[in-house]
Chains A and B, each alone.
Chain A
Amino acid sequence: MTYLAKPKLHHPRLPKNALGHTRRDYEGAVSTLCAGCGHDSISAAIVQACFELDLPPHRIAKLSGIGCSSKTPTYFLGNSHGFNSVHGRMPSVLTGANLANRELVYMGVSGDGDSASIGLGQFAHSIRRAVNMVYVVMNNGVYGLTKGQFSATADKGSKSKRGAVNTDAAIDLVGMALQLGASFVARSFSGDKAQLVPLIKAAILHRGAALIDVISPCVAFNNHEGSTKSFDYVRAHNEAVNRLDFMVERTPIAVDYAPGTAREVVQHDGSTLRLRKLHDDYDPGNRIAAMTFLQERAAAGEIVTGLLYVDPQAGDLHESLNTVDQPLNALGDAELVPGAAALEGINASLR
């Protein structure tokens, strides 16, 4: 397989964002995933979100592990630097990149095998460290790239394409992220772009570790009857707790909500998230209640989606480390090298 450049035909009537970019400017190479793969829809949602946010593409860095899901950074944001690292280790590479330059947007892309199986440790630790990032898991319950083995997010009792039943308990990344202190936790479905795009936008503007677990059916290996990650199953069991109408300060949206049905969340940078309630007593500001709710609904066989938890004023790793405001990679000799005189003092203290 060789690289396929996507023809850049700029249609004069394509809508432009505030930077004068069209959606095309946020696209990448032609996808080589299977036709109908859920991952491609998520790539499209990422493109849409970045376009709508007027992000300069070169100020985004996209990083991934290994898997079909981790291949997708090639298929979006072609004008951004990308890093396809090693299996399960995207979080550490992203952490290092983030430490080097706090000013870019870090988009981490992973799969369920990548994050819940081989990379569970790195997933957990990057979240507990509150690395400022968007962490998207394209969750299909299988290892797509190695042809359909169960991953650690496969539900107990779920059937493989060949009919084998998964006997191991599933790891729920959303539940884990809540427990580990993630300050933005969402679940969505690759088939629901209207729900997914605002969530990605909000996650990008959020400061801190933002996890979006996106159920993303694998049409080749996990879209059959008996699977709990198929399009049909997810559609039938999707329980959305809210709808995010993403809103930035400077472009207020005039939408009327019936009283008591909406909730506004102002993030650290002044951006406002307006959540339309779909579930009466769901409070995305209460971590413990969210965990309980999720456990209860999961036991009832539902897949809860929406913005499940957000702490709009969360800090991040740079805050914990008290690093300077300038990116560390921009510091030069004058800021970093103490010089000969300081060394003389050190020598004197060692005699």
Chain B
Amino acid sequence: MPQPRAIASVNDFVVKFANINGSGSASANGLFARAIMRMGIPVACRNIFPSNIQGLPTWYEVRVCEAGWLGRRGGVDLMVAMNPQTWDKDVASIDPGGYLFYDSSKPLPPSKFRDDVNVIGMPITEICNKAYTDARQKQLFKNIIYVGALSSLLGLDPIEVEKLIGEEFRSKAKLIVPNVKAFLLGRDWAREHLAGVQMGLKLQRADKVKDRIFVEGNSAAALGAVYGGATVCAWYPITPSTSVAEAFMRHCAKLRTDPQTGKARYAVVQTEDELASIGVVIGAGWNGARAFTCTSGPGVSLMQEFLGLAYFAEIPSVVFDVQRGGPSTGMPTRTQQSDLLACAYASHGDTKHVLLFPEDPRECFDLGATAFDLADRLQTPVFVMMDLDIGMNDWLCEPFGWDDSRRMDRGKVMTREALEAGKEFGRYLDVDGDGIPYRTHPGTHPARGAYFTRGTSKDRYARYSEEGPIYVDNMQRLLQKFETAREIVPRPVREDAERKTQFGAIYFGSSAASMREALEALRGQGIHLDTLRVRAFPFHDDVSEFIADHGQVFVVEQNRDGQMRTLLVNECGVDPTKLISVLNYDGTPITARFITREIAEKVGVLTPVPLKKRVAR
């Protein structure tokens, strides 16, 4: 049999692990990725997991990329096939010339292999059965053993792996030695038996990670809530948002426990459903605490009535929506950006809400904290629109930063002193012309400032009224407030191409990493684009300007219906034919390859000059 072609690449390839959920592979795979990062080589990792606790297939993709592209690349150079259930599909997904690493303890017929793929067998089960007697250990150490073998094959520095094992089990020191042993067992076996294997994928120490951190968006968002001064969290478990609340509890236990008394400067309630979660948040917000909930699409659907109340009664509240594939329970463990419209216009009646779009965990932290300032300043619900891809995967990103001179902006709260001094108070009175009224916290003053909050219409002094003009007056002020929001929400980030172009692209959230990589690829094909990364809704004037500056604008998003495009058409009054959708919504994170292909194709159709000529010119 002729040797297949062997892909050769240093620090630029994709390793995919195919495992069984609950088999303990996650920590071994994470160890592999982190050790590469410790060698100064950027990695982008993604969990692809089922809605299941144990037994169903799960994958972990590690993109090794010295150039620093952090989006999902697509394709597989090395498949670590540890799951017989998905064998055929896994083998089929390897790029020609790629590698298949598998457990060869049981012989497989030749028909199970491909002749354009390099096969590396290691009798992992056999090795484990020989080395261990305990059934659990036999299973668990398989994972570490293959990491050992990969370390030998790819040139992963064993010192880094050992250091990481030491750090991981710092609090359970007796686990360190057996784990290091298992790792070395795999490594030594491979050095002895796989020395002759041709392996073109290599790791080489680099200096591209710098001081960046490796963290998942949900944990970062929760930390943002801590720094944003949130004291009340009410939530109901739902993938992929659960770990926001769990991380908040973890962070608070460390950062928010009163050192003297051991008491908590926070309260977390796991409620009976999402209606109650948002109800608790609204009650706490009304009473002057910073409060949030974290949820996903189905939870947002349940919160609709309350969100209308919060909008109309003007109550600060923060919702972290970690989006997944919808509608209904859709693809609960896959990613999408498909709740934009459901959140922007959540509830019955005329409502509009503030949305923030973080691009990575660092921004989940920043915008997570900012959301509380905006909610207080604007006295309204604010949504932090994350997704499973940023939320549940560890991302390499800039370290968290905080300016110690920053203070919480509690917005327009009338104090006891102001009331005492006789300052006029009308709960819905627009004193400053920005549509934002003053509020009082319950219990502030014995005789002044009490008011009645209701979802029914009211006048500027919070008195019940069903008079048409009074209702209209209030609704117009809410619009005015939304105009104010437009100016104070985070501005979009514009980056222009080196040369003038009639093409623009708008993108947001977790698509950013792949978008940047795609831009580079498109430039290589002679296609130049100006870009605008939208960070908030309502749209800043910069967004309309950007669209006006270009003949055609691609809108890159991860949903079927082009929800961002709908918002742009609706809110910016632009000609819909100017906006061209680039849509990925199969549940996998959008890739640079996909964006590049889609935009190149569309530009080809839109440009009268043939592409080849453009490149030649």
Contacts and interface: CB of A to CB of B under 8 A. Distances in A.
A82 B467 CA distance: 21
A146 interface: no
Interface string B252-288: 0001101001111111110111011111111111111
B407 A333 contact: yes
Nearest to A58: B446
Interface in B198-229: 211-215, 223, 226-227, 229
Interface of A: 1-3, 56-59, 61, 63, 73-74, 78-86, 89, 91-101, 103-104, 121-122, 124-125, 129, 317-318, 321-325, 328-329, 331-333, 335-340, 342-343, 346-347, 350-351
B408 to A, nearest CB: 6
Given A81-B453, A85-B279, A339 B265 contact: no
Nearest to A96: B283
Given A84-B452, A340-B401, A329 B279 contact: no
Contacts of A79: 446-447, 450
A71 to B, nearest CB: 9
Contacts of A100: 231-232, 283-289, 291
Given A95-B269, A97-B287, A324-B258, A86 B443 contact: no
B498 interface: no
Most chain B Cβ neighbours within 10 Å, of A92, A332, A336, A340 = A92
Contact of B466 (A1, A83, A104): A1
Q: Interface residues of B: mostly helix, strand, loop or mixed?
A: loop
A86 B305 CA distance: 8
A318 B453 CA distance: 25
Contacts of B285: 96, 100
B441 A63 contact: no
A122 B280 CA distance: 11
B463 interface: yes
A122 B288 CA distance: 22
Interface in B428-455: 440-447, 450-455
22 contacts: A3-B464, A58-B442, A59-B443, A81-B440, A85-B309, A91-B276, A92-B234, A92-B283, A95-B279, A95-B283, A96-B284, A96-B289, A99-B291, A121-B272, A121-B276, A122-B272, A324-B261, A328-B231, A331-B265, A332-B408, A343-B401, A347-B399
A85 B312 CA distance: 11
B404 interface: yes
A316 B523 CA distance: 63
A81 B440 CA distance: 9
Interface residues of B, number: 76
A116 B561 CA distance: 40
B463 A2 contact: yes
A1 B214 CA distance: 59
A338 B443 CA distance: 28
Nearest to B308: A86
B272 A99 contact: no
A350 B284 contact: no
A178 B280 CA distance: 24
A337 to B, nearest CB: 6
Interface string B316-331: 0000000000000000
Contacts of A328: 231-232, 265-267, 284, 289
B135 to A, nearest CB: 34
B227 A337 contact: yes
Contacts of B456: 84
A58 B442 CA distance: 7
Contacts of B446: 56-58, 79
Contacts of A103: 443
Instruction: Sort A-B residue pairs by CB-CB distance and give the 8 closest, nearest first.
Output: A96-B283, A92-B279, A100-B289, A81-B442, A100-B287, A329-B288, A96-B284, A93-B283
Given A58-B450, A92-B275, A99-B289, 11 more contacts: A58-B446, A63-B283, A92-B277, A93-B283, A95-B283, A323-B265, A324-B265, A328-B231, A336-B226, A336-B408, A337-B402
Contacts of A339: 402, 404
A325 B260 CA distance: 12
B400 interface: yes
A73 B275 contact: no
A80 B450 CA distance: 6
A84 B454 contact: yes
A93 B313 CA distance: 13
Given A63-B283, A96-B280, A340-B401, A89 B275 contact: yes
Nearest to B288: A329
B465 interface: yes
Interface in B358-393: none
Contacts of B441: 101, 329
B87 interface: no
Contact of A321 (B262, B268, B459): B268
Given A321-B268, A350-B214, A82 B258 contact: no
A213 B213 CA distance: 56
A101 B403 contact: no
B467 A96 contact: no
A182 B503 CA distance: 65
Contact of A61 (B226, B407, B442): B442
Contacts of B288: 100-101, 329
B585 interface: no
Contacts of B227: 337-338, 343
A323 B443 contact: no
Residue in B227, B271, B442 whose Cβ sees the most chain A Cβ within 10 Å: B442
Given A95-B283, A101-B288, A337 B231 contact: no
B113 interface: no
A337 B232 contact: no
B306 interface: yes
A42 to B, nearest CB: 18
Nearest to A82: B452
Most chain B CB atoms below 10 A, which of A122, A331, A332, A350: A350
Nearest to B305: A86
A29 B352 CA distance: 33
A332 B290 CA distance: 11
A21 to B, nearest CB: 10
A97 B306 CA distance: 15
Given A2-B465, A74-B464, A338-B255, A97 B272 contact: no
A333 to B, nearest CB: 5
B455 A84 contact: yes
A323 B267 contact: yes
Given A96-B286, A99-B269, A333 B231 contact: no
B400 A347 contact: yes
A305 to B, nearest CB: 30
Contacts of A99: 231-232, 267, 269, 280, 283-284, 289, 291
Given A2-B465, A89-B306, A339-B402, A97 B284 contact: yes
B452 A74 contact: yes
B351 to A, nearest CB: 14
B232 A86 contact: no
Q: Which of B214, B279, B282, B404 has the most CB of A within 10 A?
A: B279
A147 B281 CA distance: 32
Contact of B276 (A63, A125, A331): A125
A94 B283 contact: yes
B453 A82 contact: yes
B467 A122 contact: no
Contacts of B264: 321-324
A56 B287 CA distance: 18
